[in-house]
Amino acid sequence: MIRLQSGENLQVRIQDLMIPSERVAHVQVNNSLEHALLVLTKSGYSAIPVLDPKYRLQGLISTPIILDSILGLERIEFELLEKKRVEEVMNKKISRLTIDSSIDKCIELLIDNPFLCIVGKEGYFEGIVTRRSVLLYLNSHIKEK
Ligand code: 4BW
């Protein structure tokens, strides 16, 4: 629930703001870094979720993480792209929410994260909430008031 300065409340749930998993670009833990870089480049996103074969959330992978992991002392070691797996380099320390999390918590975490992963029972990946989806919602409702 969001309280406006006027004292009114806005009712919104995580599921109203969520991009469902079917529409979220992702990679699997055992994919090569080459595959991950392809998905990131083709999708146009700078970071995407990493899932295991059972579709449970395991981490995030980004273009900067991949490039950093193939950086040698004197050159970029491009040959490592097909050798290294996503799970070796992904960021495992990520914020996550459930469908029942509060919107206040969601907004607070979006200050430092461009998107948040939503997980269900046993960590099954449900989708993401992005800064854009929250700002779109707030923008339309604040203008209506
Ligand atoms: O390909 C794109 N399509 C659209 N419609 N918008 C895009 C695209 N790429 C970037 N954008 C825009 C969005 O407004 O640039 C912002 C920053 O992108 P990012 O972080 O750095 O790649 C986007 O802001 P956002 O929609 O609030 O999304 C925040 C972050 O959430 C993105 C990306 O890491 C992730 N993301 C969003 N939609 C996704 C996704 N990851 C996977 N699949 C999706 N469908």
Residue 19: closest CA among 139, 145, 131, 144: 131
Beta carbon of 143 within 6 Å of any ligand 1 atom: no
Name the 3-class secondary structure at 16.
Answer: helix
- Sequence-ordered list of residues with C-beta below 8 angstroms from that of 88, at least 6 positions apart, any chain: 69
pLDDT at 144: 66
Beta carbon of 130 within 6 Å of any ligand 1 atom: yes
Strands 57-62 and 47-51: antiparallel
pLDDT at 33: 98
pLDDT at 107: 95
pLDDT at 1: 56
Series of mean pLDDT values for 10-residue runs along the chain (145 residues): 60 94 98 98 98 98 98 96 98 96 95 97 96 93 71
Beta carbon of 48 within 6 Å of any ligand 1 atom: yes
Beta carbon of 135 within 6 Å of any ligand 1 atom: no
pLDDT at 61: 98
